Chain A
Amino acid sequence: MTTPKAHLRSNIIKDKLFFGIILVLSFAVAIPLIWIVGYIIVQGVQNLSPVLFIKDQNGGGILNAILGTIIVTTIAALIATPIGIMTGIYIAEYQNKFSHFLKVIVELIQSIPSIVMGILAFIWFVVPLRSFSALSGSIALALIMIPVVVKNTEENIRLIPLLLKEAAYALGAPKHEVILKILVPCSISGISTGVLVGVSRIMGETAPLLFTAFGTRIIHINIFRPMETLPTLIFKYVSSPVEEWIKIAWAAALILSATVFLLNLISSVLIKRWKVKL
């Protein structure tokens, strides 16, 4: 038999205990982050050297992979951006059954594992052209990037006040002009953030590149030939027993993570600074 007072006290203790557990478990999530980032910084900085940036893999550097990442990612972004923005505009601006259907499709595309995108690019481009190529890698990455751009574009276009659109229509502007001259400029900061987030997402993708861009140890810029990228280089070097290669992999991991982090930072600054005041 508990008295009301004891009951209250036990409730207070239980309440504090519950909050304590929640607090500890929540902050435990930060442990792996600090652990991983710490390792990358410490190991990466130790193994960083200028040679990495001026020689290709045969010379003990990773310049070919850095260039490869830039080329493959840029082409993927060039393919994904227009398709993504257009689809985002359609979903936000054309309210009908088809646009609802599109929305579902985009979410489903987002859930497709990246390795399946790699198989697709393999079937569509590597098999007919009979060669691994940087271009097929870009296609695989573009397929991963499209949903990211679509979702960001859609969300930002929805935020534009109806009044602005009504004013443009009242002046007699056709729909495509309203979209191109009012909606897109007003939400440009959000849209470009979406593109940057998409780029930072695909920059670290490895699985779809293993059997599309494949990799080569020398520097070249022919997109119809195999090309090395930073993630695939890390994967290959980490799995190798050579001590020296694992050191290079740590440095490459630092370069890759820093770039991805920087892109994320730029995008969050962009959305704050460059936002059109409505």
Chain B
Amino acid sequence: MARKFANTSQKETKNPEKAKAFSGGLFSFFLWFSVGFVALFILATLFSLFIFSLSAIKHNGWQIFIGTNWDPDNASFGGLPFITGTFLTSVLALLISLPFSLSLSIFLGEYRPTGRLSTLLKAVVRLLAGIPSVIYGMWGLLVLVPLMQKWQLSLVSFGVIPMGVGVLTASLVVAIMIIPYSTSLAYEVIQLVPQDLKEAAISLGSPRYKMIQKVIIPYASSGILAGHMLAFGRALGETMAVTMVIGNLNQMPTSLFSAGSTIASVIANQFTESTGLHTESLTELGLILFLFTIVFSFIGQRIIKNLSFER
């Protein structure tokens, strides 16, 4: 045993410098390969999306932003209905989820930071985040859409066409999906509000709800905002759930109940069946979506970064 050990150690010491240099070299090769890949990824994405859709960019010009007519057969690619649909559903989803996500983050951050109730709610949030989006879409289409249809039937006299699918239904589903993203950052920031400030407010005789309104929310506002920015970015790019319940109409949505499309849903719907300029125009829409989400994510990150300096 001892001999065996001696042998191996001898073998190892035969050329230790060389072996070490080799493994070190191998390691740094893998390291730089991975790091280089990640570092160049955004540029490569931008570049390949741009190159691939170059002829569409030339052909469409500004039409992709301001044109309202999407007709692949006649090579007319106006993307405004999809851009409108994307922002409409995302803003609406954010507004619908706001009271819930804000309450949840106040509850988890201020009222019950620990304990059974908060463990339960955190588990709920985690599970919501874990459900695949196609399953949200399936539930939306098979369960929520018939319900919406029933409700819209009572609104027929107001000129609503009871389709069930549409912008509002899509926003509802997306609102549920983004709650985990908007709360996860917000409640942590609320927990970070200095105890001194809270005590000062209380000692001046302010009731707790007023303290939350006037001290906690203003103090944590940038963090709450950043969380909602990230959630908004998610909502912009959400594809499957939206595709399944928005109705997929290539026209400007006329009301909250009308069918529409988002950039992501039109790509999901038409990409495989498209050829030539149609595919390239869809890629151009993908490039626009990419730029939108990158901008919002970057702003969100800036806010978070400023936040950590304050601390």
Q: Are A112 and B45 in contact (CB under 8 A)?
A: yes
Q: Are B130 and A260 in contact (CB under 8 A)?
A: yes
Tell which of A114, A200, A250 has the most Cβ of chain B within 10 Å: A114
Q: Are B35 and A86 in contact (CB under 8 A)?
A: yes
Closest Cβ neighbor of B237 among chain A residues = A113
Residues of B in contact with A, size category: 35 or more
CA distance A120 to B40 in the complex (A): 14
Q: Are A109 and B42 in contact (CB under 8 A)?
A: yes
* Contact A238 to B111, CB < 8 A, known contacts A14-B209, A18-B209, A112-B45: no
Q: Are A113 and B209 in contact (CB under 8 A)?
A: no
Q: Provide the residues of chain A in CB contact with B30, threshold 8 Å.
A: 82, 86
* Contact A111 to B297, CB < 8 A, known contacts A116-B286, A210-B268, A238-B141: yes
* Contact A123 to B268, CB < 8 A, known contacts A25-B100, A35-B143: no
Taking the closest CB of chain A, its distance from the CB of B175, in whole angstroms, is: 9
* Contact A29 to B41, CB < 8 A, known contacts A102-B35, A204-B133, A256-B132: no
CA distance A253 to B99 in the complex (A): 30
A residues with a Cβ closer than 8 A to B are 11-12, 14-15, 17-19, 21-23, 25-30, 32-33, 35-37, 39-40, 82-87, 89-90, 98, 101-102, 104-116, 119-120, 122-124, 127, 143, 146, 150, 174-177, 179-180, 200, 203-207, 210-211, 214, 231, 234-235, 238-239, 246, 249-250, 253, 256-257, 260-261, 264
CA distance A116 to B292 in the complex (A): 12
| Cross-chain pairs A/B with CB under 8 angstroms, 29 sampled | A12-B207, A14-B209, A21-B103, A26-B100, A32-B128, A35-B139, A37-B131, A39-B139, A39-B142, A40-B139, A82-B34, A86-B33, A87-B34, A111-B230, A111-B294, A111-B296, A112-B293, A113-B238, A113-B239, A115-B268, A123-B48, A177-B23, A203-B132, A205-B133, A210-B268, A210-B271, A210-B272, A234-B135, A256-B135
B 144-184 binary contact with A (CB < 8 Å = 1; else 0)? 00000000000000000000000000000000100100000
Closest Cβ neighbor of B110 among chain A residues = A22
Q: Please provide the chain B residues from 245 to 303 with a CB less than 8 Å away from any CB of chain A in the complex.
A: 264, 267-268, 271-272, 282-283, 286, 289-290, 293-294, 296-298, 301
Closest Cβ neighbor of B101 among chain A residues = A29
| A-side interface mostly | helix
Q: Are A207 and B240 in contact (CB under 8 A)?
A: yes
Q: Are A109 and B38 in contact (CB under 8 A)?
A: yes
Q: Please provide the chain B residues from 170 to 229 with a CB less than 8 Å away from any CB of chain A in the complex.
A: 176, 179, 207-209, 212
CA distance A250 to B138 in the complex (A): 9
Interface-forming stretch among B6-14, B60-68, B77-85, B118-126?
A: B118-126
Q: Please provide the chain B residues from 76 to 117 with a CB less than 8 Å away from any CB of chain A in the complex.
A: 99-100, 103-104, 106-108, 111
Q: Are A33 and B132 in contact (CB under 8 A)?
A: no
